[in-house]
Amino acid sequence: MTDSDRLTGGDRPTDGDRPYDEHGRVPLGGYALLAGTFVSGVTLFALAARRRGVRLPDRVPPLDLALLGAATFKVSRLLTKDKITSFVRAPFTRRERDDKAGQVTDQPRGTGLQLAIGDLLTCPFCASAWAAGTLVAGYTAAPRATRLVCAGLGAITMADFLQYAYTWTEQHAEK
């Protein structure tokens, strides 16, 4: 019985006569648990913020939005692709290959929740939702500190792009 079977009592989503996941490899139960964890975290933060009288900002200035975006990008890449954060991914992934610039490609491993977490930790797009949620919560509770953290992450993002541009220029200048 798969995680999704345990979660749904065996009734798996179908498309007509074809089941959603014919081979039982998609960890729907694990995904549901991760989604529930995310929603629970947002809910707990909102309740705690309300209890403490934290006021939501009326608007997010464009510069803050840009900082949050750059920081979200960098956090998701650090978490899912950087060699030095492999220790976070290792229980849920296996190394596929080393890439350029200290980055790696890992593949999810295992079944159920382990596979679902592996999927999250190898997908920058998936991890960015969690990173953005965390940074937005920080921005709401402690905007000045979060701006500073985002500025640092934004500076790293800009430096990465400059490193790639420099390397590209070097390679093309030699030809």
At residue 123, the pLDDT reads 96
User: Torsions phi, psi of 69, nearest 5?
Assistant: -65, -45
Structural domains in the chain (count): 1
- The low-confidence residues of the chain, meaning pLDDT below 50, are none
At residue 20, the pLDDT reads 78
- What does each C-alpha distance from 151 to 6, 66, 74, 112, 134 come to in angstroms? 44, 10, 11, 37, 15
- For the whole model, what pTM was predicted? 0.80
Residue 85's domain comprises: 3-54+61-173
Provide the sign of the torsion angle of the four alpha carbons 31, 32, 36, 42, taken in this order: positive
